[in-house]
Structures are given as C-alpha cells and as structure tokens.
Amino acid sequence: MRIIDRLNSEGIHISFEVFPPKTDTGFESVLRATDEMAKLSPSYMSVTYGAGGGTSKNTVKIASHIQHDLGVPALAHLTCYSSTKEMVADVVKQLKENGIENILALRGDIPKDVDFPLPNQYRHASELIEDIRSQGDFCIGAACYPEGHPEAAHKKEDIRHLKEKVDQGVDFLTTQMFFDNNYFYNFLYRIREQGITVPVIPGIMPMTNGRQIKRSCEMSGAELPARFRAIADYFGDNPAAMMQAGIAYATDQIIDLIANDIRNIHVYSMNKPEVAAAIVRNLSDIIA
C-alpha cells in the first residue's frame, strides 16, 4: 500500500520506526523487535538507512520482511550522504524487485571534517527526490524541521528549501523530533501559507534515558521545554522511572496532537517494542 493512501484514509494512524543493526550479529534481535512492534498494528513501519551506509545493506531486507512477512506497509529510507548515485540506483532497483513502493528521501547528517558532496553524490535531498521520481512510481516522503533546520540561516530560508523538495514530487513530510507541540502547530501555519499542502506527520521521540536526551537534542537541535527538563533532571538517574516518565510525556504530546485534529503520528520507537506497546496501551480507547 502507498503510504499517502493510508494517510488520507479515515481514522488515526500511528506508525513506528526501526533501524538496522550496526553489525550482522544484531540482525536477529532487530527482527524480533520488529516482529513485536508489528503486532501492535501500526499503519506502517519505516526502516532507516544508517549513517555512512554502515547499516544500509539490511534496509531493503528488513523492509521486505515487514511488508511481506508481517503484512505492514514498509517505508525504506534513502540518504544522500550515505549513498553515491550508483548506490541509489541499485537500492531503488532492489526496492522495486521486493515490491517496496514507499521511500523516505533524506540528505542525512553530515559528520564534521568530511568532504561532501563528492562528485558522484547528491548535494541536496531535492536532487535525490527528483532522481527517485524518475526511476519509478514511488510514494516519496521527505523530512522537515518544525524548529528550523539547524543549518538554515532562518526559518524562511528553511521553508523555501522545503518547498523545493515538495515541488520535486514529495507526497508527504515527516518532522524531526520536537518536544513542544506549539512549534509544530506554528510550523504547519507557516508552510501552508507558502503553498505546501502535502500531509505533515509529526515525529514523536519518547525519551527514555538521560544519555539519549542529550545526544538526540544535540543532533536535532530540538529545544527541551522547561517542563521536560524538570522531568529529565528528576528522573534521569532512575532508568525505570525515566522510561515511564518519557513514555508518559510522549503520550501526552500525542493526545494533544490528536485533540487538535492531527490524525497521522510517527513514533521514533528506537527498536524498543516495549516503548511502542506502552504508548499504544495509553492510547487504546483514543485510537480505537
């Protein structure tokens, strides 16, 4: 199923993200986590591509398992930084052969002191999107940043670049994590004013341990509201309490989004089926 069709259908749609193992020895554990999350009946599951391409070889394999063995629509990630143009063509060919018709096209985070782009790489996600569109009838998603891309000079510039991506043939957008829903509502207002009308899926990250909070915020540029900082400060040294508090905070965000008529929500579940299951339990009557 094309994800855009699912997003435009009736009801509330919750999706989850998984990432391939860093080494082949972790493949079976990732499959087990994926199988457990699939039992929660997500609208779709996305599979990341991996920084530097180190885990990318398993993206198609896991996406195929999700779609064909588990019966859940799969969304495969592709990134500019991790791929040469030849690699993209090869992955797209594999996706076609495996019946995967949904791709999330990303530039990817560029490590410091790395030459980018090389002559055979895409500079921007818009170039990757254009190339994917030329290679088949895919449903293509892209990323967006409610608080502004960390590298953009200002939010107007960020939205201008986002419009360029959408104009290349993007069907839907998924946001970077955020912890204050007001950023998302304001972002929706601003992009709609600029003619970006595709569905925008808020990406919610349940923060379940102290180390994850610091690292994730440094990478994404997301601001931690005072309310969440107090939670992290108080519970951060107690792993069980921090997990429960992080799940509760993410659930509260999702409930607020649904109450404001947001019907499609993506959970960055970090290969943790217990976290995904707890959120679904908390929403059992809300999304029924």
Q: Is residue 91 part of a domain?
A: yes
Q: Is residue 287 part of a domain?
A: no
225-242 pLDDT per residue, tens? 999 999 999 998 999 999
Note down the domain range covering 267: 3-282
pLDDT by 10s per residue, the chain, length 288:
899 999 999 999 999 999 988 777 788 999 999 999 999 999 999 999 865 445 567 899 999 999 999 999 999 999 877 677 888 889 999 999 999 999 999 976 655 665 555 567 777 888 889 999 999 999 999 999 999 877 667 788 889 989 999 999 999 999 999 999 999 999 999 999 999 999 999 999 999 887 777 777 766 678 889 999 999 999 989 999 999 999 999 999 999 999 999 999 999 998 999 999 999 999 999 997
* Pick from 268, 270, 264, 267: nearest CA to 287: 264
- DSSP H or E run through 157: helix 155-167
What is the number of domains present in the chain? Answer: 1
Q: Is residue 288 part of a domain?
A: no
159-184 pLDDT per residue, tens? 998 999 999 999 999 999 999 999 99
**Residue 184: predicted pLDDT:** 98
**Residue 12: predicted pLDDT:** 97
Q: Is residue 210 part of a domain?
A: yes
| Segments of the chain assigned E as strands | 13-18, 45-47, 74-79, 102-106, 139-144, 172-175, 200-201, 203-204, 264-267
Q: Of the listed 17, 101, 130, 147, which one is catalytic?
A: 17
What are the structure tokens assigned to 264, written together? 């499609």
* Pick from 40, 4, 6, 30: nearest CA to 267: 40
Q: Is residue 154 part of a domain?
A: yes
17 is catalytic: yes
What are the structure tokens assigned to 267, written together? 């959970």
**Residue 56: predicted pLDDT:** 66
**Residue 86: predicted pLDDT:** 86
**Residue 25: predicted pLDDT:** 79
Report which residue type is found at 138.
F
**Residue 82: predicted pLDDT:** 66
User: Residue 169 contacts by C-beta under 8 Å, 6 or more apart in sequence?
Assistant: 129, 130, 133, 140
| Domain containing residue 212: CATH number | 3.20.20.220
